[in-house]
């Protein structure tokens, strides 16, 4: 066996949901660089098209698709029209940063609809397709917030824990059918979702100092984990949560004791 070939995705078709920006955009290019043909799906037509154009500009094969993951019919139609499907990556999330007691019912529902319901709809449609084929890999983005929380993150954290638990259930249910399901837990990553923090230097610096590496991640630093989980390199990995958090969840507190 040539172990370099374990990461080769040539001949595979990948669907990246949330490919229009941030982590999803980087993942789409990364999957293409390892040989996959990529469908770049996003809620906005222009960003989906831009992501596909970026992949093609790197010499890859890509097409664009518009999908609102909160809409069951749109998700089902997208998966059904895929010419082939081997890898599904889903990244979309939204957040409302407020104390739990101050979050309105409408705000709660909005976060639940995208982060939990939306990802459930993608899991269900794609999971059925892969199960029927008897092969495939599902990679969904959870978060360090599935493990640890802070004030203002209650609903977001609940959805990320929920995504992880659904992935674990899928791993158990679809394993006998040859389908793997795993989650990735980023730490703090510079994306549109975290722009609010980046615009406040003290908050941004505090988050950087919390990780063992003392900095934020870039979207490109999430790509390696996805390639691993999408490829045969992880052929015996399912139901896992891969932490890509710069040591955030390993380090206790921000104070360095005088040892």
pLDDT per residue, tens digit, the chain (259 aa), is 899 999 999 999 999 999 999 999 999 999 999 999 999 999 999 999 999 999 999 999 999 999 999 999 999 999 999 999 999 999 999 999 999 999 999 999 999 999 999 999 999 999 999 999 999 999 999 999 999 999 999 999 999 999 999 999 999 999 999 999 999 999 999 988 787 888 888 889 989 999 999 999 999 999 999 999 999 999 999 999 999 999 999 988 665 656 5
- pTM of the predicted model as reported, rounded to 2 decimal places: 0.95
Q: Cite the active site residues.
A: 156
Phi/psi-derived region of residue 58, left when phi > 0, alpha when psi is between -120 and 50, beta in every other case:
alpha
Alpha carbon separation from 36 to 9, 88, 116, 180, 242 (Å, rounded): 5, 11, 27, 18, 22
The domains of the chain, with CATH numbers, are 10-244 (3.40.50.720)
Judge whether 39 and 82 are in contact, CB under 8 Å: yes
The reported pLDDT for the residue numbered 197 is: 85
The 3-state DSSP class for residue 27 equals: helix
- Which residue is associated with the tokens 């500009």? 57
- d(CA 214, CA 248) in angstroms, rounded, equals 9
Judge whether 181 and 134 are in contact, CB under 8 Å: no
The 3-state DSSP class for residue 217 equals: strand
Judge whether 40 and 20 are in contact, CB under 8 Å: yes
The reported pLDDT for the residue numbered 257 is: 53
The reported pLDDT for the residue numbered 254 is: 63
The reported pLDDT for the residue numbered 194 is: 82
Beta strands in the chain (DSSP E): 13-17, 37-42, 62-66, 87-90, 136-141, 179-186, 241-244
- d(CA 134, CA 130) in angstroms, rounded, equals 6
Beta strands in 91-178 (DSSP E): 136-141
């Amino acid at each position: 066996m040539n172990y370099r070939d374990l990461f080769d995705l040539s001949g595979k078709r990948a669907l990246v949901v949330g490919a229009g920006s941030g982590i999803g955009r980087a993942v789409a290019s990364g999957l293409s660089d390892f040989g996959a043909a990529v469908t770049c799906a996003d809620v906005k037509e222009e960003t989906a098209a831009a992501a596909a154009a970026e992949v093609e500009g790197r010499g890859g094969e890509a097409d664009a698709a518009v999908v609102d993951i909160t809409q069951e019919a749109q998700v089902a139609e997208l998966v059904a029209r895929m010419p082939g499907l081997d890898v599904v990556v889903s990244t979309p999330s939204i957040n409302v940063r407020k104390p739990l007691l101050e979050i309105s019912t409408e705000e709660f529902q909005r976060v639940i609809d995208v982060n939990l319901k939306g990802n459930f709809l993608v899991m269900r449609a794609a999971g059925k397709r892969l199960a029927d084929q008897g092969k495939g890999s599902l990679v969904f983005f959870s978060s360090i917030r599935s493990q640890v929380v802070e004030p203002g993150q209650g609903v977001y954290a609940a959805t990320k824990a929920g995504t992880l638990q659904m992935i674990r259930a899928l791993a158990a249910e679809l394993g006998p059918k040859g389908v793997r399901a795993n989650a990735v837990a980023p730490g703090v990553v510079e994306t549109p979702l975290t722009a609010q923090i980046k615009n406040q230097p003290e908050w941004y610096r505090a988050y950087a100092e919390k990780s063992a590496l003392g900095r934020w991640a870039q979207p490109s630093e999430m790509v390696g984990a996805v390639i691993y989980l999408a490829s045969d390199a992880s052929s015996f990995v399912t139901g896992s949560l891969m932490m890509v958090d710069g040591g955030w969840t390993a380090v206790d507190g921000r104070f360095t004791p005088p040892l």
